[in-house]
Structure formats: structure tokens, C-alpha cells
Amino acid sequence: MNNKFDELTKSMAQSVTRRAALKKFGTGLAGMALACFGLANKAEADPNKPPPWCNTSTDPCCCRHCRTYLPASDHNYATCQAQCSLFCR
């Protein structure tokens, strides 16, 4: 165990050229930029479908946090929005 730790500290203490350090830094920075802006997989929920926790047989308005989680295209949306906001007062 001590031997492996000593080897690790010796390898970390070795000098690195500026060019090599900048190259590694630039590669890491480019990787982060690609992860943030370019390669992220964007998942979106179906806007015309209620969330999976919503059971319209027990709670037809799917009220949570003073609002309805029914899709805006649902024919009961306006009524449910008003009903859910009443529970908060």
C-alpha cells in the first residue's frame, strides 16, 4: 500500500511542460463546452399527456402545488386551474 502511494506521489511531482498542461486544459475545456452546448440529449415530455403520477380516476384535475398539471389542451383545464387554486387559500 505504501509503495503504491509513494509511486503515485512521485508521478504527480514530475514536471509537466507548459505546452502539455495547456493542451490538457484546452481538451478538458472543449469537452465541457461540447457537453454543455452540443452533445446534450434533450428529453421533452409530451405536452398533451398528463404526468405519470396523475391518476385522473382519483383526482380528475391532477392538482399539486396550487395548480393543475393537466395539459393546456385539455377541455377541463380552465375549470381545474380555478379549482386547484381554491385549495391553496
Q: What is the DSSP string of 3-58?
A: HHHHHHHHHHHS---HHHHHHHHHHHHHHHHIIIIISPPP----TTS--TT--TTT
55 and 81 belong to one structural domain: yes
Of 79, 88, 87, 48, the closest CA to residue 61 belongs to 79
State residue 66's pLDDT score.
Answer: 84
54 and 20 belong to one structural domain: no
> Which residues form the domain of 59?
46-89
89 and 52 belong to one structural domain: yes
**How many domains does one find in the chain?**
2
88 and 59 belong to one structural domain: yes
32 and 71 belong to one structural domain: no
State residue 1's pLDDT score.
Answer: 58
66 and 31 belong to one structural domain: no
52 and 83 belong to one structural domain: yes
State residue 58's pLDDT score.
Answer: 84
pLDDT tens by residue, the chain, 89 residues: 578 888 878 877 787 788 888 898 899 898 888 877 766 566 666 777 778 888 878 888 888 888 888 888 888 889 988 888 887 76
State residue 43's pLDDT score.
Answer: 62
